[in-house]
Amino acid sequence: MSILEIRDLHATVETPEGTKEILKGVDLTIKAGETHAIMGPNGSGKSTLAYAIAGHPKYEITSGSVTLDGQDVLEMSVDERARAGIFLAMQYPVEVPGVSVSNFLRTAKTAVSGEAPALRTWVKDVRSAMDELKMDPVFAERNVNEGFSGGEKKRHEILQMELLKPSIAILDETDSGLDVDALRVVSEGVNRAKERTDLGIMLITHYTRILNYIKPDFVHVFVNGKVAEQGGPELAERLEAEGYERFLEGAK
Amino acid sequence: MTSPDVTEVNDVNGPESAGDPRANEAAGGAAGVAPVPAQEELAEASSAAGGGWSADGADGSGAVTDHSRAQLEDEAIALPSGGEKAEKATRAHRARSFEVSDFERPSTKMEEWRFTPLRVMAPLFEDAATDVRGEDDHPVMYEVETPAEIAVGTLAPGEAPRGTALVPESLVSAVASERCADALHLKAAKNTEIAEPARVAVAGQGADRRGNAHIVLETEESSVATFVVHHTGSAQFAENVELIVGANSQMTVIALQDWDDDALHIATHHAKLGRDARLKHIVVSLGGRAVRVDVIGELVEPGAEIENLGLYFADADQYLEHRLFVDHAAPRCTSNSTYKGALQGKGARSVWVGDVLIRKEAEGTNTYELNRNLVLTEGARADSVPNLEIETGEIEGAGHAAATGRFDDEQLFYLRARGIPEIEARRLVVRGFFAELIQQIDVPEIREHLSDAIEAELARSMN
């Protein structure tokens, strides 16, 4: 039973105008099997929260703590965090020219599990996971994210999540820019992972649409660098009806 | 190019330079189509000028200043006449001679030497004899291993075909020619197809010892052969490699610079291609204190094709320079050049200059050249200068792209966020960077050797 605990997290970023605080005291607890939707207007710091947890060097943590099953995540390097069980599905996955998807997946799997996967079952696992995400098998021989469409990139992110089997997954606007078919396929992948591995999910989104496919247990409204309000799925419905105005007013 | 008033070729071709932390990218032509997705750094790159383009429209023929095959025909632009001065400035008018005295000692004022570290290379500018200290004590030992079908012989200066393709264009080349009494001559006879590569192992015997060499590689009409020239050890080595590629023949040349850290090497590879001939020319420069390889290809008969491939890896305080010149002087010829380099460590330095000349008679030319550099650590610097001179509008396509990028932190983050440790992530990226080139080397043992060598280079930087 994994548990990710974020306590009073503050983070800054360097900008041309100077140091800017983006996260201003985030409190959040995500347990295995739970889905938490983080919703908020653009610029509220949702993505920063995702990248700060994953350890992107651009963000400096100035105070607060992040622990995974009691272990200090902030003390870990980026790859240590991933090996500890944290997965970040990125909004803008990066191209890696000359590195094939299959090579990349095998290298990552080997790194995460500490040993090379048994060849026969691995090939089968990759194939069936790709099949479920409606990805053409030739995809495996393409270079990582090179020339991928927006939908292909997101499927590829979810493919990695399904194969690497993290305990906590952070999905950073995975739904942005997807058409309905792709959104359904991607959402099904997330739901499968949750069923199969009791995954804890932090679902960062700007839109309520994805919540028709992935049912959140908790909804957090993220405004001005922290959680402004939390509740159950009904909060998402309220946001749908009322928008973020009320919270933005409060933040001023 | 808003000011097409091109007169001096050398002046308009601003170098594409990058040391860290800048990354830059330039594709030929003012439109600046980025051949790879623009990176964030691109926006702030201060020196992302449009690469070097020049047009010599002395006789009023259309000069094309576009960069991508697809757009070329639509965007052909006729430039005003460059006049007499442009004619003189063109790459084709560099002096050629067998006389050492016809050449000045290199200085930084000379375009073709402006990057080269002249003080480091100074020993090679001396008109010095090969440093033989005894019957079996040569500065450079040669081991020639050839399949039975390859004829092996020697050629004196002036003895054809020696000197039919290569007439020296520089002091070092002229000295190497004059000081080499017996040029090694390897020849594939007419209509023979030879699968097994012919190998010339060149082993330097000491960093203080001067060697001069001239090698003639020849494929007669409709023959097929591969030649490997592999340099190891250390020396001060002035070398000419003359490539005579007969009509309808296919020659592959692989030149490996695997020198020790203190070697100095200046090589001139000069090819002349017959009708419908094909040359695949591969340069791999990994070792040496300072290495410069000039590769000149003359397309003087219709339908010939040159493919230039290059791979280099510069370490701390190492200088690697590659200069290409493809001379399109006949109709319907093709040339493609792809050079890629990685640099790491303080004082690692690389220079790539790619000159392509499309003469008036070279209608139907298709040419593209690309140079990419990957700067792995701080303190390294790569220069990249593509030049294209076009004297006819009747071409299929002409383009170039040059880019120098820093090791991409976002790539690194992406891979590490998947649990891959930093060292391994760097390896993946660098291997990936070179993969498309290595795949094109048809000799498996050299492919393996290269993969191993790149691993070793990386291990050096990451311990």
Give the domain CATH number at A231.
3.40.50.300
Number of domains in chain A: 1
Mean pLDDT of chain B: 83
| Residues from chain B contacting residue A56 (CB–CB below 8 Å) | 413
| Residues from chain A contacting residue B429 (CB–CB below 8 Å) | 96, 99
A239 band by pLDDT with thresholds 50, 70 and 90: confident
3-state secondary structure chain A: CCEEEEEEEEEEEEECCEEEEEEEEEEEEEECCCEEEEECCCCCCHHHHHHHHHCCCCEEEEEEEEEECCEEHHHCCHHHHHHHCEEEECCCCCCEEEEEHHHHHHHHHHHHHCCCCCHHHHHHHHHHHHHHCCCCHHHHHCEECCCCCHHHHHHHHHHHHHHHCCCEEEEECCCCCCCHHHHHHHHHHHHHHHHHHCCEEEEEECCCHHHHCCCCCEEEEEECCEEEEEECHHHHHHHHHHCCHHHHHHHC
Task: Provide the pLDDT for residue A218.
Answer: 97
Does pLDDT of B29 surpass 60? no
A15-24, A238-247, B103-112, B391-400: the lowest-pLDDT one: A238-247
Q: What is the mean pLDDT of residues A164-181?
A: 94
Tens digit of pLDDT for each residue in A41-90?
888 999 999 999 999 999 999 999 999 999 999 999 999 999 999 999 99
Query: Is the Cβ pair B417, A55 closer than 8 Å?
Result: yes
Task: Provide the pLDDT for residue B8.
Answer: 28
Q: What is the mean pLDDT of residues B335-364?
A: 96
Cα–Cα distance for residue pair B141/B139, rounded to 1 Å: 7
Tell which wins on pLDDT, B93 or B358.
Answer: B358
Cα–Cα distance for residue pair B280/B257, rounded to 1 Å: 17
| Residues from chain B contacting residue A160 (CB–CB below 8 Å) | 418
Task: Provide the pLDDT for residue B66.
Answer: 30
Asked if residue A199 lies in contact with residue A167, where contact means CB atoms within 8 angstroms, the answer is: yes
User: What pTM does this model have?
Assistant: 0.78
Domain that holds residue A135: 3-251
Does pLDDT of B319 surpass 70? yes
Task: Provide the pLDDT for residue B56.
Answer: 32
Does pLDDT of B264 surpass 90? yes
Task: Provide the pLDDT for residue B324.
Answer: 98
Asked if residue A99 lies in contact with residue B420, where contact means CB atoms within 8 angstroms, the answer is: no
**Candidates A55, A87, A111; nearest CB to B420:** A111
Please choose, from the candidates B447, B378, B387, B444, the residue with its C-alpha nearest in 3D space to the C-alpha of residue B29: B387
Does pLDDT of B176 surpass 50? yes
Most B CBs within 10 Å, among A78, A103, A158, A168, to test the B interface: A78
**Candidates A82, A90, A99; nearest CB to B416:** A82
Task: Provide the pLDDT for residue B112.
Answer: 93
Tens digit of pLDDT for each residue in B393-448?
899 999 999 988 887 889 999 999 999 999 899 889 998 999 889 989 989 999 99
Residues paired with B285 in a beta bridge: B257, B312
B462 band by pLDDT with thresholds 50, 70 and 90: low
Please choose, from the candidates B205, B305, B288, the residue with its C-alpha nearest in 3D space to the C-alpha of residue B248: B305
Cα–Cα distance for residue pair A227/A188, rounded to 1 Å: 27
Q: What is the mean pLDDT of residues B44-65?
A: 31
Please choose, from the candidates B224, B222, B323, the residue with its C-alpha nearest in 3D space to the C-alpha of residue B267: B323
Task: Provide the pLDDT for residue B226.
Answer: 98
Q: What is the mean pLDDT of residues B114-135?
A: 95
Task: Provide the pLDDT for residue B89.
Answer: 55
B131 band by pLDDT with thresholds 50, 70 and 90: very high
Does pLDDT of B38 surpass 90? no
| Residues from chain B contacting residue A55 (CB–CB below 8 Å) | 417
Report the share of chain A in percent with pLDDT over 90.
88
Q: What is the mean pLDDT of residues B2-14?
A: 31
Tens digit of pLDDT for each residue in B274-311?
999 999 999 999 999 999 999 999 999 999 999 999 99
Does pLDDT of B80 surpass 60? no
Asked if residue B198 lies in contact with residue B227, where contact means CB atoms within 8 angstroms, the answer is: yes
Does pLDDT of B26 surpass 70? no
Q: What is the mean pLDDT of residues B7-31?
A: 35
Tens digit of pLDDT for each residue in A89-105?
999 999 998 899 999 99
Asked if residue A6 lies in contact with residue A26, where contact means CB atoms within 8 angstroms, the answer is: yes
Quickly tell me which residue has 């170039």 as its tokens.
B400
Query: Is the Cβ pair B419, A79 closer than 8 Å?
Result: yes
Tens digit of pLDDT for each residue in A113-139?
999 999 999 999 999 999 999 999 999
Phi, psi of B168 (to 5 degrees): -55, 140
Q: What is the mean pLDDT of residues B177-191?
A: 97
Does pLDDT of B151 surpass 60? yes
Q: Give the DSSP letter of residue B193.
A: B
B437 CA: distance to closest CA in chain A (Å):
10
Task: Provide the pLDDT for residue A224.
Answer: 94
Mean pLDDT of chain A: 94
Does pLDDT of B37 surpass 80? no
Does pLDDT of B229 surpass 60? yes
Most B CBs within 10 Å, among A59, A92, A96, A157, to test the B interface: A96
B463 band by pLDDT with thresholds 50, 70 and 90: low
A251 band by pLDDT with thresholds 50, 70 and 90: low
